[in-house]
Structure 1
Amino acid sequence: MGSFFSQIKVNESLIRDAPIPVATLNSECEFLSSSRMFLKEHGITIENIIDKNFFDVLPSFPPAFKEILDRCLLGNSCQNEGKKYLLQDGRNVWLKWKINPWTKEDGSVGGLVIVLENITDHKNIDELVKEAQEVARTGGWQLNLLTYKAQWTKMVNIIHEMPLDYVPQTFDECFVHFKEGRHRDLILKATHEAIENGTPWDEEVIMITGTGKELWIRTKGRAEFVDGKCVRIYGICQDIDPYKRPQLAYREAAEKLKSAISASNVGTWEYDLNTGHTIWDDINFELHDIDKENYTGSLYRNWKKSLHPDDIKRVHNEVVSYYNGNGSGVLEYRVLLPNNSVRNIKASVTILTGPKNNKFRALGICQDITNEKNTEIKLKKFAEITGEQNNSLTNFAHMVSHDLRSHSTNLSVLTSLIEDEKDPEERKQILEMLKSATNSLNSTVYNLNEVVQSTDTNIQSKLTQINILKAITTVQNNIGTLFQEKKGICMLDVDPDYSVHVVPAYLDSVLLNLFTNSLKYCATTRSPIIKICTTLIDKKVQLTFEDNGKGIDMAKFGKNIFGMNKTFHRNKDARGVGLYITKNQIEAMGGTITVTSEVNVGTKFTINFQTI
């Protein structure tokens, strides 16, 4: 015992400066000496640990480690390359140790010599590497060319779907897993180049797994030389099947799409959202009239410059809106060509996102839709013309049924009167009235003929200057018998010099409809009085047509007063088209009409006519 202690004293500095974490203990597990590395390795900050118990110095060590020390104090050596412990302070720690008992002069155990390493950091790194290999499905391999002995990591076996203890036994067996033909030949050639010339390889090939399945892998390899001779080749093997097959499918689809696009004259483009790098195909340059060989600046700026000025802001807003998750990604714009003609483009945009939903690239196609747009404009114009012609036919039908009916009624009444009248003077007066009525009918038929020959596309050419007072008195005379029947009075305050720019048949129809409405819907308790006034406002003739008839409930019918098939009284002959036609005719001539009314008081129409 004395000699051991004296040896410790002699070698105390040697132990203290030892480059390993070593310590000596007595039989009570009290420290006799320790290296600085031991103190640092285990985070011991006590200045002097001599004669202090091991577990007092390291109180968080697990009780299980005390059992190991106790066994060694019985004369047993113990060694472990790494064991994981949960310390009492909650930390996980990996320990590697080598423990030998030292003996006294009498042969009894006097204590222990401990080499105790904390390998937690190394183990954590190993676990991270292992986890990374599993996530990336990447394994390592090597082949010793001196012994032709191969080594695979477990992940290589997993990728190959082989037993975990499988290792190729011969050089040739290392290559049988590659698909026969092009893929195997590629790897054999790459291996030969590495062994002969030291050329590394990095290839993507198909291998056949142990279960007979085809699998895309990436294999990298390089050679190690000693004294100019290749002694080893080594590398990695990665399973890339999950993304390689979709990549190949995408390429195939892209090639088919490219062929289809070329045949359909559709341009394609790509735009990197991070760098601004832009790629166009030749068709896209042609569609936007940009010289592929001689343009300056970025393609984006050239594209923006090619747009019609009226479309730039709208297109920008639509693109930003789609980037932010709104809209369909389909937009239309016009390209202004050097000869000032316009080319209509339809573009479809798709934004690609990465694994973290980050947007990184925009893809799109552009198509010339000028012909379609021109056809659309023609169809729209045709539809407008058709609608206008329908309105004209409606007006014509109304005037035929309404205007001619008024004349026929007037003529019928006058004919009856002349048959019954015996007085020559009275008959002469009735004949004059009949002659006037016939002339009015002739004029109406002439105007109707003008309407038939016109459409709303040439309605402006049919507008003519008509004296408004003359037109009013003519229509009033045409329905003179109705005035007599209803005992109506017409009060005129119309400037005899005022003329309006109208279609004569339309004006006659408007006035006739207003007159007959006032007389048909007059109050039963009083004679109908019609007041017609004109005023010149802003170079337009404003005509007011006011009666003291039944009136209309504006709160109930105001919104629909000019609607089709809208009636407001219970007259048997009310059809609900008169005011609809009247408004239609006035607006066709560039005028306006409004109405105010009160039940049992009367109705007032205000019409503005163009004068030129």
Structure 2
Amino acid sequence: MTRDIHEVEDGFVPNLKAAIDFYKEGESKNKIVTAFEQAVAGEGDYNVEVELITGKGRSIWVRAIGHAEFDNGKCKRLYGTFQDIDEKKRIELEVSDSRNMLDNVLNSASEVSIIATDRNGVITVFNKGAEKLLRYSPEDVVGKASLAVFHLESEIANQSNQLSSQYGIPVTGFRTFVHKTELESSEIREWTYKTKYGIQIPVSLVVTVIRNYHNEIIGYLGVATDLSARRKVEQELKEERARLMAFVEHAPAAVAMLDNDIHSIRPTSFRMGGWCPLEAGIDQFVK
């Protein structure tokens, strides 16, 4: 079996150097040489996963387990097992690469809060954007807290009552965030987030389900964007409109609003202390 793994002829019997030379140059060869030398020196057994280049030139992953046997403090022999783990290892590496890529994407989205939970609502992912927005660290919440820690109790209660009334069943606790999502695959709603220091921030939160390859729900993903800037602009716009209307309603002069084509937006005749709509058309008004 060892010869099959190495893809050499049936009669092949390697010496130590030939055996070591099968291992891929660099990290793998350095790892097996170090493990061998430490075992022979009495520093313990080894169990390593390394790459080797077969007799046919293929690169495969193997597990090498070694145990040194001593007599009067001197190593007499080294024996163990050798296993082809190429398929398993490559799957593990693909999973690791995918996780690293996902982590990079999540952490690069520093202006968007991304939080994932398991089926019970316990947080499993807390990206840089969530840290920046909510002022918690991943160590504070991952594996410990639920989404509810960031929400106002009053908003959760109101939404719970609405959903319970809409669907005719009690919808409470964490189900308040995901009940509609499970029925429609996703839901977008405005909430108020509460930071670690009690600051309230309006957000637009999109919640979607996370499914495994069996199409079973294994968790939920919440992506939130800060609405503070938009709310501030909206408030400023309301205040500007209020000031403008106050001027229009009470200016001691005749005022009309026209668009770029000189069409009336709100033709009005103004008098001291009051106003009344213009009965005349805009042409007569302009004249």
TM-score (norm 1): 0.31
Q: Does 1:169 align with 2:14?
A: yes
Distance 2:145 2:109 in 1: 23
Q: Does structure 2 conserve the Cα–Cα contact (< 8 Å) formed by 1:198 and 1:223?
A: no
User: Which residue is 1:319 aligned to?
Assistant: 178
* Structure 1 residues without counterparts, runs of 5 or longer: 1-153, 382-449, 455-460, 465-502, 506-612
- Mapped to 1, the partners of 2:25 and 2:86 lie a distance apart of 18
Which of 263, 267, 287 does residue 453 from structure 1 map onto? 267
Provide the alpha-carbon RMSD of the alignment.
4.4
Q: How does 1:238-317 map to 2 (within 5 A)?
A: 238-265=83-110, 266-273=112-119, 276=122, 278-288=124-134, 290=136, 298-300=144-146, 302-303=148-149, 305-306=151-152, 308-309=155-156, 310-311=158-159, 316=175
* Residue aligned with 1:245, SS: helix
**What percentage of aligned pairs have identical amino acids?**
21
Alpha carbons of 1:244 and 1:294: their partners in 2 closer, same or farther (altered >3 Å)? Answer: closer
SS of equivalent residue, structure 1 residue 299: coil
- The aligned counterpart of 1:215 is 60
Check if 1:224 corresponds to 2:69.
Answer: yes
Partner residue in 1 for 2:166: none
Q: 2: CA distance between counterparts of 1:172 and 1:371? A: 67
2:190 touches 2:202 (CA, 8 Å); kept in 1? no
Q: How far apart, CA to CA, are the structure 1 residues paired with 2:228 and 2:5?
A: 57
Q: Which residue of 344, 347, 350 corresponds with 2:204? A: 344
Change (3 A) 1:331 1:243: farther
Question: CA offsets per residue over residues 504-534 of structure 1, 9 Å max, x none?
Answer: 99xxxxxxxxxxxxxxxxxxxxxxxxxxxxx
- Structure 2 CA distance for partners of 1:322 and 1:220, relative to 1, 3 Å: farther
Q: Do the aligned residues in 1 keep the contact of 2:180 with 2:187 (CA within 8 Å)?
A: no
Matched, 1:334 2:194: no
Residues 245, 179 of structure 1: alpha-carbon distance in 2 compared, 3 angstrom cutoff: same
Shift of 1:285: 3.7
Q: Say if 1:200 and 1:222, in contact at 8 Å, map to a contact too.
A: yes
Structure 1 pair 329/301, CA: closer, same or farther in 2 (3 Å)? closer
The 3-state SS of whatever aligns with 2:93 is helix
Matches within 5 A, 1:180-191: 180-191=25-36
C-alpha distance in structure 2 between counterparts of 1:275 and 1:194, whole Å:
47
Once residues 42 and 59 of structure 2 are traced to their aligned partners in structure 1, the CA distance between those partners, rounded to angstroms, is 31
| Conserved? CA contact 1:204–1:219, under 8 Å | yes
* Mapped contact 1:269–1:284 kept (Cα < 8 A): yes
SS of residue matched to 1:187: helix
How many residues were matched structurally? 228
Letter in 1 for 2:129: I
Instruction: Measure the CA separation in 2 of the matches of 1:250 and 1:451.
Output: 61
Equivalents in 1 of 2:58, 2:17: separation in Å? Answer: 20
Residue 36 of structure 2 aligns with an amino acid whose one-letter code is: T
Q: Classify the secondary structure of the residue corresponding to 1:175.
A: helix
CA change 1:255–1:244 in 2 (3 A) is: same
For structure 2, list consecutive stretches of 5 or more residues without a partner in the other structure.
Answer: 164-173, 239-263, 269-273, 280-287
DSSP 3-state at the match of 1:224: strand
How many Å separate the matches in 2 of 1:329 and 1:202? 46
**CA separation of 1:255 and 1:195: change in aligned 2, threshold 3 A:** same
CA deviation digits over 1:571-591, x for unaligned, max 9? Answer: xxxxxxxxxxxxxxxxxxxxx
Among 367, 374, 384, which residue is 2:224 paired with? 367
Cα 1:214–1:284 change in 2 (3 A) is: same
Structure 1 position 365, deviation (Å): 5.6
- Give the Cα separation in 2 of the matches to 1:198 and 1:351: 46
Equivalent residue, structure 1, for 2:247: none
**AA paired with 2:178?**
V
Q: CA deviation at 1:207?
A: 1.0
Residues 107, 128 of structure 2: 8 Å contact kept: no
Instruction: Note the C-alpha offset of 1:256.
Output: 4.2
How far apart, CA to CA, are the structure 2 residues paired with 1:347 and 1:311? 15
For the Cα contact (< 8 Å) 2:109–2:129, is it kept in 1?
no
Tell me: CA distance 1:285–1:184, structure 2 relative to 1, closer, same or farther (3 Å): same
Residues 341/255 of structure 1: CA separation in 2 closer, same or farther (3 Å cut) = closer
Distance 1:220 1:330 in 2: 52
Code of the residue aligned with 1:200 in structure 2: it is D
1:195 is matched with 40
Query: Could you give the per-residue CA deviations for residues 271-290 of structure 1, whole angstroms, max 9, x where no partner exists?
Result: 45589574534432443455
Pair 1:274–1:198, CA change in 2 (3 A): farther
TM superposition score normalised by structure 2:
0.59
Q: From the superposition, tell whether residues 184 and 298 of structure 1 become closer, same or farther in structure 2 (CA, over 3 Å).
A: closer
Q: CA deviation at 1:214?
A: 1.0
Which residue number in structure 1 is paired with residue 51 of structure 2? Answer: 206
1:9-158 → structure 2 map (5 Å cutoff): 154=1, 156-158=2-4
User: Which string of whole-angstrom CA distances, capped at 9 and with x for unpartnered residues, describes residues 157-197 of structure 1?
Assistant: 3333334x344331222222211222111101101111112
**Quick check: 2:119–2:220 contact (8 Å CA) kept in 1?**
no
Counterpart of 1:237 in structure 2 is 82
Q: Point out which structure has higher relative CO (alpha carbons under 8 A, 6+ apart).
A: 2
